[in-house]
Structure 1
């Protein structure tokens, strides 16, 4: 362990503790833009972050559903490349979306779930009892899906209560939750945490068919009264398509079978003899039927295509496809474009024969990841021309400029090109999907996190590497690139584990966590002899700070055990960066801190920026992701006798509405950029610690930013013309904020 003595501050450049926030805020003249979503919310719209089911009306309106969208757009309506409306009532107050949706001329039928917020929501007939959860169907009016289409009297709400949200104004005779409940058909009541989703729906004007997947049956209801008329047994039924002749095409084995199939049933549930000759490696995830009886199948297997089947001489045969074979992984792997599908989840067709395809980057069988790998909805003419596309590509994600390409930006598992001559929202283009589940199935993005992670990109020894921290700063993923052989794909290269539980799903990993993995074979696979457990006695697990400096050293900030530094040891024979517990330095907690949260090192000035808590500014355990209340810059850090240049207090008003604290910070050029949970960015002069001003979201994004919910939610890049690009995680509406600010 290095010996350190902390010299007194330099009098000419130091104020001991100064207030960061000025009494009169200076709002900086920054331009607002964003990346990753077709719509920026300037007009109140955005593309949802996941789509697992679609239903297409004859006029080309597309109705969607998914278990989760951060701002409640689980069930939305799109047409001609525009988001028209979201249904609501599928988010918050115990409700969630689902994996199925269907239409007739009168109603929209949506699979939903209803919970009780750990027993805090109480109302007979409105929410289940504590410890229980409901799965079923919400019926809405086709002319306005926000309106519940009641088929039973609303529950008496006089005694309903919400103990979780005191001061909500009480209940009235027109309680909207009671109205939703009066249009909700409960099909399964199960213990909380049990999966019992409705995974398929199809409807005519008289009949509704529902796939009760975990119960292995199709249930048939009167479309108007919602009274059950019949049931029949089907193995794990999934999505359903209702043909013009009244027969049903049903995906079977949708939950557990490696290769689901599609069965054909009569309206009364008799299994018909004809089948679809699916390829052996097909993974059907959705099925639709056009006006001429052609069957469309969304294949989420290696083909990543829509398969067409037509009946000829009494048998169905494949009659065409939509999409490049291999999808986004064909040709230049990871390069998006028309007909290069990626994780198909839905297919539909309108009266004109236009085909609609939904994807989420993984497919419907990986529900948690579907909210982080990128949703798209696109339309194709019968001749295969792309008519329109909407994208909701980012969630719990940040951005970092590629050090080798200043007009290229990495996020957790995507790459975007920038053209800053274009207007806000049009200045980005999606050009790379980094995760290849077919070539690198061991990629820890599929085994450790619900979301890819927050990026830091560094150029080392002439090569670009991507480092990803997870949402809770537990572990660090490392990726390399080989464009000639892998296109846009980020190849798993290294992994530094934290606690045992978050990394339990990593293939062949040793028990206990606290290990380093390196891809010594160069194949992106995790094998047992590539792991090195930490035997030094100094654990890296625990803490909120990860930082990779421009020289490649990795900094790990422990809450109470100091700061660890893993030195970059060059590249191995396969091009992986070398890190070793044996080449690790540990620095004691520097004065005046009592707890640490972040440490950012700048090699060019040998300066370390440290945040945390002191005796005078103690920790509040209710704010466990924040950087702390004090920022200190130390110079001459590597000398063994660092000099404290300044110590400043950061904005911290936990009683403010919204709460004012700092959840992330970064250092770039002449400035420190510190972001609040609600997205406001404080800009500080890095040499004095004095605040220059604040960047706030503009009208282009509705002057709104969602919650910054990660420890590394802000990054910055100084362009050659002196302008700064500042990127901020924006959880609410599927994007990352991009601010452009040029100091006067």
Structure 2
């Protein structure tokens, strides 16, 4: 399974963007067709594009806008050099920064050549005065002449680099450049440390530490350690190794000599040690990733004793829960110090939320902070805030639109609490798209994923939970249940294959017995979800009986929105559409926007994730009208090459916005007529670049009270959400 995953990740990097010439050819071909087929112009709207209005490109969630500088997706391993250079490692960064180098609050890291070709990073990194050593995985590539693993296998390696980040090969090295040392064909590297001329490599699944010569990279010995994770070296040249929790055995920190002899000292008062380092005073720093969310400081001469802490006890959950503070950590994945005693801490959130790397003076004053918070994510605004309050799947931001591009956002809160709500679906699923709504004046956040396979609902209660989003309800979908075992985190999920609605009836945020409402499985292929301004939820199934309408029945005593299968309405897909994909309904005007493929513009193959070939507007939908006010053809695949496709749509104010999958171009149509009036793409503020639009709701638009439009677009390439600002 892991090898398939690695192979899949390697293939993802084929995503190189922008095929402008093809896009132009498609446009002119379509334009000529409109001229020659005059009867079609009476039926479909024309594509006449007036002069483009000025717009500004901005972004949220990453310290840098792109180009050569961005903060990687998430940091899983970290080492701090004596001069304050921070070396990082992670298993995946869409743009190729699995390993990074940061110093003085800046990105200085080169391309470590860890991305693509079935190659990814890992969870450990260390250095000496000559080389960088980092954990990584090399998967197979089929029958090619270079040195790669056999088909359907993978190498778990330590790869060696110069301090400038260039691969440093050695005699007996493996891989295309001879810089890889194969540690295992089965188990990943979980810890790295250096004592003198020896490199210590922890392999948790093998319960072993291997020792290699740092110059020749040949193995000199190995010794047994139960479940070794991250490790560090004290001034005596002995090892302190995190032993991860295993079954009923608690996590602890063990002491070993450099020869592998178990020493007597043990640190056992840490619930979840996640990172470890030695400071300039010879003290041991241990990241406590349990409820304390602190750095614990130990004197290790003689019997270990805790002599201090760094950071606020409780981390981001202290005080106002979720509120970001300089010394409030969350999901600690890295700790280190430099020669002068400055302290470096990385918070990775939970379920790899994103990078939050901070440097502090020895007295605890924040020196700098680097953020890379988003991967496969998009944003939405609280409609009551006029666009000032913005939410993504884990984060809450406040906006000041008067500031320059990239500076408008302030990171205010992290909305997930794994200790109070361990069944929060965000810990166990991969949501990607936010709908933020108000029901009876109360705020709610809705989340679905890349495949529209569920809908998660969260409520807020500032009096008890601050900024934390509390699990409130969840809609499963056929693709989540059909032919699949019950998911372990949903211990009370209905055993039979059923679609279900869960509601947190007792208000504890847990999926308890008696809280499920089940129904027969729907058609297994989903088109999309929508939450309207009243809180009604809509679901499309791509079939003729293709629209399910869940009318919100108010709020229960715990503040959860009430949905039920018994009150759900089934509606037939209008006959203009053969394959229904997206839906947006506006109850204030009784206006429905649907998208999908049509008989006149059918798909080539099954482009399951795209919007379709047309967007259609219907007025007086709730009164039974199914005659379109207009139909407009949007960019879609007509060649089978899948180069031109529309990935997502969003309606706001006077416009319908749509974004293409590979080129990330935004098309703007008049909501009144369907006429295309503008097209724009990422500007110089973000180096003119974007990743693919990987999610069904990769664009979200909002009209502010001053008439300005804010348009959020997923940008998974370099860890941010792009934001366009359009004047009235």
TM-score, reference length from structure 1: 0.88
Matched, 1:75 2:96: no
- What residue number does 2:327 align with? 339
- What residue number does 2:45 align with? 18
1:290 deviates by 2.2
- Which of 398, 423, 426 aligns to 1:417? It is 398
User: How many positions carry a matched residue from both structures?
Assistant: 679
- What residue number does 2:210 align with? 219
Structure 1: 5+ residue stretches without partners: 1-13, 156-176, 191-195, 363-368
1:657 deviates by 8.7
Structure 1 residues 662 and 727 mapped into 2: Cα distance closer, same or farther (>3 Å)? same
1:460 deviates by 0.9
Q: Is the 8 A contact 2:618 2:625 kept in 1?
A: no
- Which of 219, 243, 253 aligns to 2:244? It is 253
After TM superposition, the structure 1 = structure 2 runs for residues 94-113 of structure 1, keeping only pairs within 5 Å, are 94-113=118-137
Matched, 1:348 2:367: no
Distance in 1 separating the partners of 2:107 and 2:433: 28
- What residue number does 1:444 align with? 425
Matched, 1:629 2:613: yes
After TM superposition, the structure 1 = structure 2 runs for residues 103-142 of structure 1, keeping only pairs within 5 Å, are 103-117=127-141, 120=142, 122-123=144-145, 126-142=147-163
Which shifted more, 405-414 or 97-106? 405-414
Structure 2: 5+ residue stretches without partners: 1-40
Matched, 1:150 2:136: no
Q: Is the 8 A contact 1:216 1:236 kept in 2?
A: yes
Structure 1 residues 256 and 35 mapped into 2: Cα distance closer, same or farther (>3 Å)? farther
- What residue number does 1:160 align with? none
Distance in 2 separating the partners of 1:487 and 1:731: 29
1:730 deviates by 0.7
1:79 deviates by 0.6
1:289 deviates by 1.1
1:544-584 Cα deviation digits (max 9, x unpaired): 21001111111111111321111111111111111111111
- What residue number does 2:376 align with? 396
1:328-376 Cα deviation digits (max 9, x unpaired): 11111111111111001111111111111112102xxxxxx31xx1211
Structure 1 residues 272 and 65 mapped into 2: Cα distance closer, same or farther (>3 Å)? same
Q: Is the 8 A contact 1:204 1:223 kept in 2?
A: no
After TM superposition, the structure 1 = structure 2 runs for residues 316-331 of structure 1, keeping only pairs within 5 Å, are 316-331=304-319
1:507 deviates by 3.5
Which shifted more, 694-703 or 616-625? 616-625
1:256 deviates by 5.6
Q: Is the 8 A contact 2:157 2:189 kept in 1?
A: yes
- What residue number does 1:545 align with? 528
After TM superposition, the structure 1 = structure 2 runs for residues 167-182 of structure 1, keeping only pairs within 5 Å, are 178-179=176-177, 182=178
- What residue number does 2:38 align with? none
Distance in 2 separating the partners of 1:577 and 1:102: 50
1:53 deviates by 0.7
- What residue number does 2:681 align with? 696
Matched, 1:90 2:114: yes
Q: Is the 8 A contact 1:244 1:291 kept in 2?
A: no
- Which of 501, 506, 511 aligns to 1:526? It is 511
Distance in 1 separating the partners of 2:617 and 2:585: 10
Matched, 1:188 2:219: no
Structure 1 residues 90 and 27 mapped into 2: Cα distance closer, same or farther (>3 Å)? farther
TM-score, reference length from structure 2: 0.90
- What residue number does 2:696 align with? 711
1:122 deviates by 2.9
Q: Is the 8 A contact 2:71 2:371 kept in 1?
A: yes
- What residue number does 2:464 align with? 485
Distance in 2 separating the partners of 1:657 and 1:33: 31
1:212 deviates by 1.6
Matched, 1:464 2:443: yes
Tell me the SS of whatever aligns to 2:228: coil
Which structure has the higher relative contact order (CA within 8 Å, separation 6+)? Answer: 1
- What residue number does 1:307 align with? 296
How much is the aligned-residue C-alpha RMSD, in angstroms? 1.9
Distance in 2 separating the partners of 1:659 and 1:710: 17
Q: Is the 8 A contact 1:289 1:296 kept in 2?
A: yes
1:656 deviates by 9.7
- What residue number does 1:290 align with? 279
- What residue number does 2:55 align with? 30
Distance in 2 separating the partners of 1:349 and 1:405: 41
- Which of 455, 458, 475 aligns to 1:496? It is 475
Distance in 2 separating the partners of 1:342 and 1:534: 39
Distance in 2 separating the partners of 1:379 and 1:657: 47
Structure 1 residues 586 and 94 mapped into 2: Cα distance closer, same or farther (>3 Å)? same
